[in-house]
Amino acid sequence: EGDVICVFSQYGEVVNINLVRDKKTGKSKGFCFLCYEDQRSTILAVDNFNGIKIKGRTIRVDHVANYRPPKESEDWDDVTRALHAKGCGVKTPPHTSSDSASEDEDVPVKKQKGEECS
């Protein structure tokens, strides 16, 4: 998880990450959901990371319409509770990219299958 935050933090503040794990084994399923503090960071990350190789693996980075914070747990911090209640990117500034989602849509980064999140 720390490696993912380190790599993605070069484009902005990562406020939450949901590393998806197998319920039985607890092992990473190879993808995660990541939420930036603002939408500009999300756009930069998608534009610059989609299709690159990290540790010999090509990663796919894309937008999702609804951020999925980790499932409710006693271990949640205040940020995760707020994201669960309000959604990701509630203070997101509008952007001007014509090929991205609408200005009102919250758009976090999603790392998808085939990626190594550890």
Whole-number Å distance between alpha carbons of 53 and 62: 15
In a domain, residue 105? The reply is no
Q: Which domain does 64 fall in, by range?
A: 1-86
pLDDT in tens, 38-94: 999 999 999 999 999 988 989 999 998 888 777 766 677 777 777 767 767 544 445
The answer to whether the CB of 1 falls within 8 A of the CB of 117 is yes
In a domain, residue 15? The reply is yes
CATH number of the CATH domain containing 35: 3.30.70.330
pLDDT in tens, 4-29: 788 899 999 998 888 888 989 999 99
In a domain, residue 71? The reply is yes
In a domain, residue 95? The reply is no
The answer to whether the CB of 18 falls within 8 A of the CB of 102 is no
Question: How many structural domains comprise the chain?
Answer: 1
Q: What is the pTM of this model?
A: 0.62
